[in-house]
Structure 1
Amino acid sequence: MNLPEAKVSKILNFSCVDGPGNRLVLFLQGCNFACLNCHNPHTMALCNHCGDCVPACPTGALSMIGGRVVHDPTRCDECDQCLEVCPINSNPKVFQVTIGEVLELVQRNKPFLNGITVSGGEATTQLKFITALFGVMKQSVSLRDLTCFIDSNGYLPEFAWRSVLPYTDGVMLDIKSFDCDLHCKLTGRTNERVLASARFLHAEGKLHELRYLLIPGMTDVPAEIDRLLDFVLDLSPGLNLRLNAFQHHGVRGEAQDWPAAEKDRVEEIASQLRRGGLSNVTTPAVYI
């Protein structure tokens, strides 16, 4: 059987912020949202081999071969100038990985790991790879004790979630906004499917955490916070809710002119949510 491969933007061997415990994280390339506030916009699109990035590379790690951009990691110093000039929010350093290669990497780092998280971009745009990878891990005697998590924007329909739920231990899901028009402005998509995903995953016992980004003047306003409180209370007052604070790191376009979320305001909102009955609200440890 031919197992699917994945287009990967980056791999972190160790992370303590992408799910419970210490985790190996795969950042898959490609996203079905176009968030104005994206902190990793280079993960959105797949390279179209236009070649604009080649002359921007100071070390000669990029070249055009047969009409395609080719990346030589041995010459790359990770300056990321290629990402800054890309006109479509892509990454010429994306590489293909097989399930076997991921399993080997996980096995090598297993003594230090609690599990693996697949993120993005939007991880579920490569759902067949995730399902196959997690399925093999759950059948592996040496790896099946590791947990398998997905970090998602929630835009996957229910029937597709059902295909991966038998193999995933949990999903961390982002809600960008409760106002549909604002959600569409921020992401290019409406939010009905996202909210439906949160409800479905919670009902199936797979919603590990909701994440909500506080953007001053947009998503931190009283109407949004009230709807966030009501939504989580309707699911479970004890659900893990992580408040993230909008900052300027990595963002492009108009979001560069938006005000950053300040710690005092984030903590004020967290206190409001706790007073409203939520028992597991987490705020950022660092504001950068």
Structure 2
Amino acid sequence: MGRVATVNQIIPFSCVDGPGSRLVIFLQGCNFNCKNCHNPYTIDMCDSCGDCVATCPVGALSLTTEQEKSKVVWNSELCTRCDTCLATCPKQSSPKTRQYRVPEMLELIRKQVHFINGITVSGGEATLQLPFIIELFQAIKSSPDLSHLSCMVDSNGYVSEGGWQQVIPYLDGAMIDLKSWQEHTHRYITDRDNHRVFSSLKLLAAEGKLYEIRLLYIPKVSDFDSEVNAVAGYLNQLPASVRVKLNAFQHHGVTGEARLWGTCSEAQMLELAARLTERGVGNLVLPSVYL
């Protein structure tokens, strides 16, 4: 068990990242550069340039040298979570990450095992650290005291078929984001095409591993409303068990150009949901709050 993951955050209890109560592991790094990202500090890896060290008001960051390379070290006990470092970083990256090996993660999971139904690995983009996920899920499934936990991945779907095939034997379900219908819109929002996303959805659905497809509605930007007939036709081809989760774009955490985009109101979301329902789409899950 030698795989190491760069972890941004671990939430011991969550009820919105898969079924039941779940321990959620947010990995650092993403292969999308979404204009609307609510957690832009999870996109890039810290390159230990050191710009953030001097700006930390409590001295929770320091610059050390390891094997002739500079490295920013984060002291979580001193940190007040003021996020000055995130504002300072020219890449909007977070120096507040930890390295975890699988045995260390299993130890943490065992401390919560009586209070959770499963594990969800998210990001950033979780599948960029797929070897760690595979080793972790394999260890969970082979441990008598943990094997009852469901293992799920929250992903943008931009992973190869070969990658999915490696993790599928240990995977209970995946939650996949579909950022838009048309490729040019998807590329505008994410800097990537959506062909591989559709391939992932097709494969996971065929394998019975697609738990949820997520559509983020950004009025006048994402094209789910203008392409509602095509979107509904596609969703109706998915297994009836697949949840279709509609998310409403808001400005929380967003930076740059997307701050100028209009947010999604409850009325706009209800209208989109009604149009999908009229076209036969079932198992819709709508937001509980609009902030």
Question: TM-score interval w.r.t. the shorter chain?
Answer: over 0.9
In structure 1, how many angstroms separate the alpha carbons of the residues matched to 2:189 and 2:88? 22
Tell me which of 93, 100, 105 is aligned to 1:90.
93
Is structure 2 residue 200 aligned with structure 1 residue 200?
Answer: no
- Amino acid across the alignment from 1:217: K
Alignment of 1:242-257 (within 5 A): 242-257=245-260
Q: Please give the per-residue CA displacement for 1:18-74, whole angstroms capped at 9, x wherever unaligned.
A: 000000000000001000000000000111111121122111101112222111111
| 3-state SS of 2:162 partner | helix
Q: Specify the alignment match of 2:137 in structure 1.
A: 134
Q: Please give the per-residue CA displacement for 1:105-134, whole angstroms capped at 9, x wherever unaligned.
A: 111111110100000000000000000000
Question: TM-score, normalized by length of structure 1?
Answer: 0.97
Q: CA deviation at 1:272?
A: 1.6
In structure 2, how many angstroms separate the alpha carbons of the residues matched to 1:237 and 1:218? 28
Q: CA deviation at 1:10?
A: 0.3
Q: CA deviation at 1:237?
A: 4.4
Aligned residues between the structures: 287
Q: Please give the per-residue CA displacement for 1:226-272, whole angstroms capped at 9, x wherever unaligned.
A: 22211111223452100001100111110011111101110111122
Is structure 2 residue 280 aligned with structure 1 residue 277?
Answer: yes
Is structure 2 residue 157 aligned with structure 1 residue 158?
Answer: no
Tell me which of 140, 144, 149 is aligned to 1:146.
149
Alignment of 1:207-246 (within 5 A): 207-220=210-223, 222-246=225-249
- Amino acid across the alignment from 2:125: E
Q: Specify the alignment match of 2:122 in structure 1.
A: 119
- Does the 8 A contact of 1:174 with 1:212 survive in 2? yes
Q: Specify the alignment match of 2:179 in structure 1.
A: 176
Question: TM-score, normalized by length of structure 2?
Answer: 0.96
- In structure 1, stretches of 5+ residues that fail to align are none
- Amino acid across the alignment from 1:65: T
In structure 1, how many angstroms separate the alpha carbons of the residues matched to 2:241 and 2:105? 34
Is structure 2 residue 46 aligned with structure 1 residue 42?
Answer: no
Q: Please give the per-residue CA displacement for 1:205-236, whole angstroms capped at 9, x wherever unaligned.
A: 00000001000102255333322211111223
Root mean square deviation, CA, Å: 1.1
Q: Please give the per-residue CA displacement for 1:121-159, whole angstroms capped at 9, x wherever unaligned.
A: 000000000000000000000000000000000000111
Tell me which of 262, 265, 274 is aligned to 1:262.
265
| 3-state SS of 1:130 partner | helix
In structure 1, how many angstroms separate the alpha carbons of the residues matched to 2:56 and 2:116? 35
Q: Please give the per-residue CA displacement for 1:69-102, whole angstroms capped at 9, x wherever unaligned.
A: 1111111011111112211131101110111111
- In structure 2, stretches of 5+ residues that fail to align are none
Identical residues among aligned pairs (%): 48
| 3-state SS of 1:223 partner | coil
Q: CA deviation at 1:181?
A: 0.5
- Does the 8 A contact of 2:137 with 2:170 survive in 1? yes
- Amino acid across the alignment from 1:231: Y
